[in-house]
Amino acid sequence: MVQKREAYAPWSLTRKAGVQSATVNGDIEVPQFIQPVLDTGFVDEKGDWKGSKSSDEQFFAFGKDEGIANGGEILAPQASGSIWPLDMTGFKDLFIAIKPTRGGGYLLEAVMGPNDLSFANLNPVNPAVNLRYQNEAYDGGSPAFADVCNDTETCTTDVWNIFYIPMRARNQKLLQFKITNNSGGSSDIETAFMRVV
């Protein structure tokens, strides 16, 4: 709704001081608008519309690998997921959920996706190698490269074990996880992912 009010125009003091070209009246009409604004993106330097990212509301890219032997590996997410591999462009944090049928240790490694897909405009990439990041920017340590994720976690049987990876995987374009079954026996392994802005 448009409303108008009177406001004092400070440049009229110049008129009072003798400058004939200055504004005569000390009051001016100031229209005021109250209008909601939604920030959903921006136009980049090329004139292309770029929508703002929003966090995933639910886990997605569900996959299930059955009968993985002790010492066996899987890659997740799988091709059946809506995003494969994970595209973290515009996202900074990541949740990975694992539901095994056998409790015990599982090695989680963040790795480069397959070499038949491009990383931006680069192809081929070195597939299934550990992704690395410059840790000083995030951890405040001395400058050195470190693995995005390379850790063995103990998982409980038949429940979703959820792990949070802050900042390290942000903006990765071909992100997959190599999960090694170190539980001591065969296990089915379900996985799911959720990205956070």
**How confident is the prediction along the chain (197 residues), in pLDDT tens digits per residue?**
556 666 655 555 555 666 666 555 566 666 777 778 777 888 888 888 888 889 999 999 999 999 999 999 999 997 654 457 899 999 999 999 999 999 999 999 999 998 888 999 999 999 999 999 887 655 566 778 889 999 999 999 999 999 999 999 999 999 999 999 999 999 999 999 999 99
Q: Which residues pair with 106 in a beta bridge?
A: 153, 181
The pLDDT value recorded for residue 41 is 84
54-196: CATH architecture: Sandwich (2.60)
The pLDDT value recorded for residue 29 is 67
Q: Where are the domains of the chain?
A: 2-33, 54-196
The pLDDT value recorded for residue 161 is 98
The pLDDT value recorded for residue 24 is 55
Q: Which residue has the tokens 């990212």?
A: 53
The pLDDT value recorded for residue 49 is 87
Report the b/e string of 98-135 with b at 16+ CB within 10 A.
Answer: bbbbbbbebbbbbbbbeeeeeeeeeeebebeeebebeb
**Dihedrals φ, ψ of 129, to 5°?**
-95, 150
The pLDDT value recorded for residue 105 is 98
